[in-house]
Copies of this chain bind each other. A is one copy, B any other.
Amino acid sequence: MARTLETTAAGCPARLMARSAALEPVPTAVVAAGSPVALESARRATALGLIEPVLVGDPTAIADSARRIGWTLHGACVVPARDDAAAARIAVALARSGDVGALMKGHIHTDTLMLAALHPKNGLRTGRRFTHAFHMTLPGSGRELVITDAAINVAPSLNTRLDIIRNAVELWRLVGGSDPRVALLSCTEEVTERVPSSMDADRLTRLCQQEVPGATVFGPLALDLAVSAEAARIKNLTHPCAGAADILVVPNIETGNALFKALVHFLDAVAAGVVLGAAVPIVLTSRADPPAARIAAAAIAQIVAGRRRSATPGAPYPTTAAKGGAAPGLHA
Contacts and interface: CB of A to CB of B under 8 A. Distances in A.
Nearest to A236: B287
Given A223-B265, A263-B266, A288 B254 contact: no
A263 B265 CA distance: 11
Contacts of A138: 266
A223 B253 contact: no
Interface string A5-33: 00000000000000000000000000000
Interface string A193-206: 01111000000000
Q: How many copies does the complex hold?
A: 2
A236 B50 CA distance: 31
A264 interface: yes
A187 to B, nearest CB: 4
Interface stretch (A67-75, A94-102, A224-232, A323-331): A224-232
B223 A262 contact: yes
A36 interface: no
Range, interface on chain A = 35 or more
B255 A223 contact: no
Given A262-B223, A265-B223, A265-B231, A254 B185 contact: yes
Interface string A143-182: 0000000110011000000000000000000000000000
A224 B187 CA distance: 22
A311 interface: no
Nearest to A150: B187
A197 B288 CA distance: 22
B267 A266 contact: yes
A154 B255 CA distance: 13
Given A252-B252, A253-B187, A227 B154 contact: no
A258 B185 contact: yes
7 contacts: A154-B196, A224-B288, A251-B254, A252-B252, A258-B259, A262-B262, A262-B266
Interface of A: 138, 150-151, 154-155, 185-188, 194-197, 222-224, 227-228, 231, 234-235, 250-259, 261-267, 287-288
Given A223-B262, A251-B254, A259-B259, 18 more contacts: A150-B187, A185-B254, A185-B258, A186-B254, A188-B257, A222-B258, A224-B288, A231-B265, A231-B288, A234-B287, A235-B288, A250-B254, A250-B258, A255-B255, A258-B258, A262-B262, A263-B266, A267-B267
